[in-house]
RNA sequence: GGCGACGUGGCCAAGCGGUUAAGGCGGAGGUCUGCAAAACCUCUAUUCGGCGGUUCGAAUCCGCCCGUCGCCUCCA
């Protein structure tokens, strides 16, 4: 039985989907800039969740949206002096490059706010008709105090929150706690026609509308970063449940932790210290980035430190070499079933990827040992591929950097060294090895055969 | 002020009431090797921020203290 931690109940619960298909909604990105490693973290974690659910024979329908109407997009367009549509196209494209580079599988449906506008407007209308929302000067606001359990996700109390934020500035609302579902048009901003007048959707309504449209009014899992709990997810719950009259909107709420920067500062776009995914992929393999992330539990706040990603790269080499080493055919084969059990047990327990990885590392060591004992480890190697696949690893060697030496150059030098070794001119042989080493090529002798690889 | 998270070996990080406190990186020694690399073996926390308490028994539960951090405003 898979157990997942539910932010709503603050406890681990047995996972039982409502229907035949797991309905999963992931709060996607606002496309106004390149993706950073915080997005990578979130994407990888929920990618692993879908892969694991499928591994455990669930059918999953995953919806992940693009927010392509937003203040930040408008600001970015103004700063770059281009139409806002150009900004969203550019960064949707960029998002795909990043996510593909990280071997994250795409969601089944990837709706955009601009494409689901009729459903968004209809949902707002429904809230107005039901008395949960009201029009005011061309805008529409959600009436927070009409929902007695408002605050149940974040544990926030409306009055205490208002006391801290120093009162609200948006005029024309019945209550400062109310939030905008529809924003009346302002000069030079994108706008759509609606029964309430021209304008654009507020921040939270899109996710409810898209979840309703593509999944239904009650879903199984809703995912996003911890930072979205308030106000975004709190408001989504309020408006969704008010509209549908059904509780809960989502059975499970899953939230990933926030990246910590090595110097102790939290990741924040406003600090301008985001670590670009595409830049990271030039320096590190997707496997090493993934391992670095999955070696911490998804609800903790992993440390972003290049040293740690580098260490993960070395760890990946251990797994790859254990899987790729030549197998000895034998009747005596290694039984790896206990490791599979350990993996499943760990993953069942709220996606305990650090423990799942520990099982894989232990298995790799066991394989290397069994191999020297003359055992057949092909079945075990297959299992490692299977389990690492569930975690989204490719097991591909990192992209090789061109250090100025061509393969022919290297082969010539290796041949030269082989000759020197045959003559027992060890000094000459080692000089060649040093030369290759300086160029980032490491070599390894196995009997007469010498193999080389780029670092 | 309100809501919440966390402090485990040199570093990262599991464990959340009871066998020898996972795993990775790093380090030391060894086997193998002409020497290396890789791999394997051994070692690298009698101890889990501090002080009390509950318990037959606590890293794990409770209280206090110290220290980091997140959210309450746009953010995965």
SS3 state of residue A285: coil
**Whether pLDDT at A400 is above 70:** no
**Whether pLDDT at A326 is above 50:** yes
Which nucleotide shows the minimum CA-to-C1' distance to residue A223?
A: B76
**Whether pLDDT at A201 is above 60:** yes
Q: How confident is the model at residue A263 (pLDDT cuts 50, 70, 90)?
A: low
Least reliable range by pLDDT among A54-63, A72-81, A344-353 = A72-81
Strand B closer than 7 Å to the CB of A123?
no
Which nucleotide shows the minimum CA-to-C1' distance to residue A360?
A: B23
**Whether pLDDT at A196 is above 90:** yes
Strand B closer than 7 Å to the CB of A316?
no
Q: Which of residues 47-86 of A touch strand B (CB under 7 A)?
A: 67, 70-72
pLDDT of residue A272: 42
The integer distance in angstroms from the CA atom of A232 to the C1' atom of B7 is 30
- Which residue places its CA closest to the C1' of nucleotide B25? A311
Strand B closer than 7 Å to the CB of A143?
no
Strand B closer than 7 Å to the CB of A259?
yes
Q: Which of residues 211-240 of A touch strand B (CB under 7 A)?
A: 224-232
Chain B: bases < 7 Å from a protein Cβ: 1-6, 11-15, 22-26, 33-41, 68-76
Least reliable range by pLDDT among A11-20, A90-99, A212-221, A426-435 = A426-435
Least reliable range by pLDDT among A19-23, A40-44, A124-128, A441-445 = A441-445
SS3 state of residue A346: helix
Strand B closer than 7 Å to the CB of A158?
no
pLDDT of residue A85: 94
Q: How confident is the model at residue A62 (pLDDT cuts 50, 70, 90)?
A: very high
pLDDT of residue A446: 80
* Most confident of the ranges A1-15, A49-63, A395-409: A49-63
pLDDT of residue A403: 59
Residues with Cβ within 8 Å of A397's Cβ and at least 6 positions away in sequence, in order, are A285, A320, A453
The integer distance in angstroms from the CA atom of A352 to the C1' atom of B46 is 28
Give the tens place of pLDDT for each residue, A89-130: 999 999 999 999 999 999 999 999 999 999 999 999 999 999
Strand B closer than 7 Å to the CB of A358?
yes
The integer distance in angstroms from the CA atom of A358 to the C1' atom of B22 is 7
pLDDT of residue A265: 40
Question: Which has more pLDDT, A270 or A187?
Answer: A187
Return mean pLDDT, chain A: 90
The integer distance in angstroms from the CA atom of A133 to the C1' atom of B49 is 49
The count of residues in chain A is 455
Which nucleotide shows the minimum CA-to-C1' distance to residue A357?
A: B23
Residues with Cβ within 8 Å of A254's Cβ and at least 6 positions away in sequence, in order, are A4, A5, A6, A7, A46, A49, A221, A222, A223, A224
pLDDT of residue A170: 52
**Whether pLDDT at A269 is above 50:** no
Strand B closer than 7 Å to the CB of A317?
yes
Give the tens place of pLDDT for each residue, A413-430: 999 999 999 899 999 999
What does the block give as tokens for A172?
């024309």
pLDDT of residue A271: 39
The integer distance in angstroms from the CA atom of A364 to the C1' atom of B17 is 33
pLDDT of residue A17: 97
Greatest alpha-carbon span in chain A:
92
Over residues A324-348, mean pLDDT? 92
Strand B closer than 7 Å to the CB of A42?
yes
Question: Which has more pLDDT, A168 or A442?
Answer: A442
The integer distance in angstroms from the CA atom of A12 to the C1' atom of B53 is 28
C-alpha to C-alpha distance for A422 and A399, rounded to whole angstroms? 33
Which nucleotide shows the minimum CA-to-C1' distance to residue A314?
A: B25
Number of C-beta neighbours around residue A308 at 10 A: 18
**Whether pLDDT at A314 is above 50:** yes
Over residues A198-202, mean pLDDT? 94
pLDDT of residue A341: 96
**Whether pLDDT at A219 is above 90:** yes
C-alpha to C-alpha distance for A313 and A30, rounded to whole angstroms? 30
Does residue A194 contact residue A184 with C-beta atoms inside 8 Å?
A: no
C-alpha to C-alpha distance for A389 and A48, rounded to whole angstroms? 9
Which nucleotide shows the minimum CA-to-C1' distance to residue A311?
A: B25
Does residue A140 contact residue A181 with C-beta atoms inside 8 Å?
A: yes
pLDDT of residue A402: 57
Strand B closer than 7 Å to the CB of A23?
no
Over residues A397-405, mean pLDDT? 70
C-alpha to C-alpha distance for A430 and A421, rounded to whole angstroms? 9
Over residues A125-153, mean pLDDT? 92
pLDDT of residue A361: 97
The integer distance in angstroms from the CA atom of A392 to the C1' atom of B8 is 29
pLDDT of residue A188: 85
Q: How confident is the model at residue A264 (pLDDT cuts 50, 70, 90)?
A: very low
């Amino acid at each position: 039985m898979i157990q997942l931690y539910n932010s709503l109940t603050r406890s681990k619960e047995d996972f039982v989907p409502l229907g035949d298909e797991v309905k999963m909604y992931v709060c996607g990105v606002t496309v106004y800039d390149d993706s950073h490693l915080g997005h990578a973290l979130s994407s990888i974690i929920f990618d692993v969740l879908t892969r694991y659910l499928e591994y455990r024979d669930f059918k999953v329908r995953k919806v992940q949206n693009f927010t392509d109407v937003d203040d930040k997009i408008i600001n970015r367009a103004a700063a770059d002096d281009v139409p806002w549509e150009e900004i969203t196209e550019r960064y949707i494209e960029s998002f795909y490059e990043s996510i593909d580079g990280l071997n994250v599988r795409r969601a089944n449906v990837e709706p955009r706010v601009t494409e689901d506008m009729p459903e968004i407007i209809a949902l707002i209308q429904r809230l107005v008709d039901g008395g949960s929302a009201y029009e005011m000067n061309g805008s529409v606001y959600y009436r927070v105090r009409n929902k007695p359990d408002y605050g149940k996700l974040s544990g926030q109390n409306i009055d205490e929150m208002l006391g801290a934020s120093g009162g609200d500035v948006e005029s024309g609302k019945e209550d400062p706690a109310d939030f905008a579902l529809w924003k009346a048009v302002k000069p030079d901003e994108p706008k759509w026609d609606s029964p309430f007048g021209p304008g654009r959707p507020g921040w939270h309504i899109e996710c409810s509308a898209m979840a309703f449209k593509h999944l239904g009014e009650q879903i199984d899992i809703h995912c996003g970063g911890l930072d979205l709990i308030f106000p975004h997810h709190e408001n989504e719950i309020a408006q969704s449940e008010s509209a549908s009259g059904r509780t809960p909107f989502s059975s499970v709420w899953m939230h990933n932790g926030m990246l910590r920067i090595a110097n102790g500062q939290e990741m924040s776009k406003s600090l301008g210290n985001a670590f670009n995914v595409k830049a990271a992929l030039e320096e590190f393999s997707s496997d090493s980035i993934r391992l670095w992330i999955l070696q911490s539990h998804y609800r903790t706040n992993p440390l972003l430190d290049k040293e740690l990603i580098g260490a993960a790269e070395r760890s990946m080499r251990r797994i790859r070499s254990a899987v790729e080493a030549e197998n000895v055919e034998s009747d005596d084969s290694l039984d790896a079933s206990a490791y599979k059990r350990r993996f499943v047990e760990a993953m069942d327990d709220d996606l305990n990827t650090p423990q799942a990885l520990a099982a894989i590392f232990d298995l790799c060591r066991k394989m290397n040992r069994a191999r020297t004992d003359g055992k057949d480890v092909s079945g075990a190697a297959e299992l490692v591929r299977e389990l690492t696949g569930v975690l989204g690893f490719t097991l591909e060697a990192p992209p090789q950097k061109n250090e100025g030496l061509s393969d022919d150059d290297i082969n010539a030098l290796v041949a030269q060294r082989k000759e020197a070794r045959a003559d027992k001119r060890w000094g000459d042989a080692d000089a060649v090895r040093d030369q290759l080493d300086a160029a980032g090529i490491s070599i390894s002798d196995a009997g007469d055969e010498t193999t080389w690889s780029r670092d």
